[in-house]
A = this chain, B = another copy of it.
């Protein structure tokens, strides 16, 4: 199959290398780059050279960002070319439009590399759906935030020190907000939930990040047998669905609590297969390049996945109801139980637990507290971690 690359940075470069070294049946014919970026006879700086070349059957987009990527992909699909993309931002923003065009022009639109890097996560969901309804998904889908938490837990680094180290290693951008505020995971959650539930996931899902997670908070959680990870979460039941991004307090016995450095771990639940987890490198030139090449091989074999273009299920955040942790110097939220006072050795904020919230109400409460203390941190409790809350809070129920 003859392909063209839009963008040849880390991921595009990985695709180029894998195709040339390992998969000769994929012939790279053209590479769109900015002037001065790459010295290769296939380089062009004009996307028209690709769109108007009828010999190019499939376009690989690894530019990132919304525009001009969005416009280029629309033009490629309208020209009857299949598209394989690693760009989670543009897919989360324009999923239905891309899918509609792919159906109209009877071409493929493939997105494995948007979510989970080299982890065969989107394909795993699609395969499970051949037999089961996928009722739940969750996962560590951002390696940078996992690297930060893992560094803080293992080496005793503070957040800023861990972030500097991640930036030095190339795991985090100079502006880390997409990673630490959950925006990257939010895009991946929207994409994953759309594929998993066969219903377009809304774009404004609740989203909490780890910007104000501190070493003392982690220590206070660890003392109670817990860890924390930034997770994608989504669930469907009886025609309703919910999805969100939030730090989750987990039992230290969980698989998620032991995901090292910048790896990803994503979980789906199906009725007959039960719980399936997929672990691997969530980023990097070769793992993400591998995901794109796998998509290209499927396109070459004639595969044309058809994802949802409409919101078929009804939004109901109560499906993700949980207990929530708030670490704040603002006054205690209404109905909150005190988990740890500022007197506790090493905790610089009070830790409160509010039972029976859902992600939307938790986000609203977080905003209220953050208006008073901008360093407020919030997280939900996993069911396993919440099991010990009753004893810890000495609740009479």
Measured CB to CB, the residues of A under 8 A from B are 14, 18, 22-23, 118-120, 123-124, 127, 130-132, 253-255, 257-260, 270-281, 284, 286-287, 289-290, 293-294, 297
Decide if A287 touches B273 in the complex (CB within 8 Å).
Answer: yes
A273 to B112, CA, bound (A): 13
- Closest residue to A17 on the B side, CB-wise? B272
- Cβ 8 A contact of A118, one of B14, B273, B279, B294: B273
- Closest residue to A275 on the B side, CB-wise? B280
CB neighbours (8 Å) of A14 from chain B are 272
Beyond known contacts A118-B274, A127-B294: 16 more, CB 8 A cutoff: A14-B272, A22-B272, A118-B273, A118-B276, A123-B127, A130-B294, A130-B297, A253-B258, A255-B255, A271-B286, A272-B286, A273-B280, A274-B286, A275-B280, A276-B279, A278-B278
Decide if A279 touches B279 in the complex (CB within 8 Å).
Answer: yes
Q: Contacts A253-B260, A255-B258, A272-B22 known; A120 to B127 CB distance under 8 Å?
A: yes
CB neighbours (8 Å) of A272 from chain B are 14, 18, 22, 118, 286-287, 289-290, 293
- Cβ 8 A contact of A258, one of B23, B254, B260: B254
User: Distance in Å from the Cβ of A128 to the closest Cβ of chain B?
Assistant: 8
Decide if B131 touches A22 in the complex (CB within 8 Å).
Answer: yes
Q: Contacts A132-B22, A294-B127 known; A280 to B287 CB distance under 8 Å?
A: no
CB neighbours (8 Å) of A120 from chain B are 124, 127, 276
CB neighbours (8 Å) of A127 from chain B are 120, 123, 294
CB pairs A–B below 8 angstroms (8 shown): A118-B272, A119-B276, A120-B127, A131-B294, A132-B290, A253-B260, A275-B279, A278-B278
User: Distance in Å from the Cβ of A28 to the closest Cβ of chain B?
Assistant: 15
Decide if B287 touches A274 in the complex (CB within 8 Å).
Answer: yes
A275 to B280, CA, bound (A): 6
Q: Contacts A131-B18, A255-B258 known; A281 to B286 CB distance under 8 Å?
A: no
CB neighbours (8 Å) of A124 from chain B are 120
A273 to B131, CA, bound (A): 27
A123 to B123, CA, bound (A): 11
- Closest residue to A259 on the B side, CB-wise? B255
Decide if A274 touches B281 in the complex (CB within 8 Å).
Answer: yes
A281 to B276, CA, bound (A): 8
CB neighbours (8 Å) of A286 from chain B are 271-274
A275 to B262, CA, bound (A): 12
A259 to B253, CA, bound (A): 9
